[in-house]
């Protein structure tokens, strides 16, 4: 049984990774409905939170149906991070997560995200002080190191654990790699196999199929998988993995009708959360993934990403469902 603090997650839990502009409440709720064991918010700036910036505070929203949920924050200033912990606690998430892994330049240049991998002492200090500040389980997401020459992930994981983190998720690339090349799970396995490690060690990066998830579990012996890009446009992925674990077979892929229903549901939830204008606008990025690989669908996707009004989109979804249902009956 894998646990984060007192939260029981079963054997080899599947976690939805925090993804900027993706892991919002509607998407997290959909992933939870389809098998995710834990979901994490988009990363939230500690500086934005303490200044009550609307974009940051809105990311604190949580649906009851998505629990257990972790709120992820990033920053490099101790006082700001401690104040952010206090603000986050008020929203009553199940977990607080520290982002020590974002490779994006605008984050790294401020010493936050993966930038802190250049200063392991500070990384440990921030973890310790934040763990003391909160009564909630504190977890950490990080990378193998800043670059290939500075990989010390076994030592880093030990120090993070000793500082009070109750789980660690490790992306199998360095900051220098960004998202290029292949994730190295061997080094994550070394962390897990370290006899001093008592907290769960989750693997992240390139979990792109049920077979890869099983490999992470059986070959590398990790405690769970944190899934990112494979879930975009495919919130069914979590149940696909669990079905494969159970049966050794692949769950049938979602039909075109199921894809349309999912996109429609996603849009309704986004509008409920952010209102008509933003809901329509911010759901656009998901349509190409929901309908990826569908023959002769380009004109419909074009209409989806250029239509400004939800009524027009819902009419399009209704028309598509009817047309594809008729095609199915004609076969």
Catalytic residues: 102
Nearest CA among 170, 245, 226 for reference residue 23: 226
Nearest CA among 281, 78, 37, 262 for reference residue 169: 37
17 within 8 A of 8, measured Cβ to Cβ: no
Residue 267 CB partners (closer than 8 Å, separation 6+): 279, 280, 283, 310, 313, 314
253 CA to centre of own chain? 22
Q: Residue holding tokens 């606008």? A: 281
C-alpha distances in angstroms, 213 versus 72, 181, 207, 219, 244?
23, 18, 6, 10, 10
Calpha distance 304→294 (Å, rounded): 15
* Peptide bond between residue 202 and the one before it cis (omega within 30 degrees of 0): no
185 CA to centre of own chain? 18
300 within 8 A of 287, measured Cβ to Cβ: no
Judged by DSSP in three states, 169 sits in strand
Judged by DSSP in three states, 132 sits in helix
37 within 8 A of 13, measured Cβ to Cβ: yes
Residue 55 CB partners (closer than 8 Å, separation 6+): 48
């Amino acid at each position: 049984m894998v646990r984060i603090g007192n939260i029981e997650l079963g054997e080899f839990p599947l976690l939805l990774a925090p993804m900027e502009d993706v892991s919002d409440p509607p998407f997290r709720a959909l992933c939870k409905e389809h098998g995710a064991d834990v979901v994490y918010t988009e990363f939230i700036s500690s500086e934005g939170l303490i200044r009550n910036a609307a974009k940051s505070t809105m990311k604190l929203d949580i649906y009851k149906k998505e629990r257990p949920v972790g709120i992820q924050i990033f920053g490099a200033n101790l006082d700001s991070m401690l104040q952010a912990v206090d603000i986050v606690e008020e929203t009553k998430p199940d977990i607080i997560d520290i982002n020590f892994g974002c490779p994006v330049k605008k984050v790294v240049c401020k010493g936050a995200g993966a930038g802190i991998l250049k200063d392991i002492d500070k990384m440990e200090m921030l973890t310790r002080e934040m763990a003391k500040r909160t009564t909630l389980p504190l977890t950490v997401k990080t990378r193998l190191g800043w670059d290939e020459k500075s990989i010390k992930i076994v030592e880093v994981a030990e120090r993070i654990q000793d500082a009070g983190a109750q789980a660690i998720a490790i992306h199998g690339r360095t900051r220098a790699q960004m998202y290029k090349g292949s994730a190295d799970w061997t080094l994550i396995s070394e962390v897990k196999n370290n006899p001093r490690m008592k907290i769960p060690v989750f693997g992240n990066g390139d979990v792109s199929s049920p077979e890869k998830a099983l490999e992470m579990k059986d070959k590398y012996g990790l405690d769970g998988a944190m899934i990112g890009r494979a879930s975009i446009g495919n919130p069914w992925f979590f149940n696909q993995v669990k079905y494969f674990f159970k049966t050794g077979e692949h769950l049938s892929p979602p039909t075109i009708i199921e894809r349309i229903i999912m996109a429609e549901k996603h849009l309704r939830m986004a509008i409920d959360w952010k209102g008509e204008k933003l809901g329509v606008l911010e759901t656009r990025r998901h349509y190409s993934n929901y309908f990826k690989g569908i023959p002769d669908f380009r004109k419909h996707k074009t209409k989806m990403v250029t239509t400004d009004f939800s009524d027009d989109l819902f009419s399009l979804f209704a028309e598509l469902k009817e047309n594809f249902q008729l095609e199915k009956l004609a076969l």
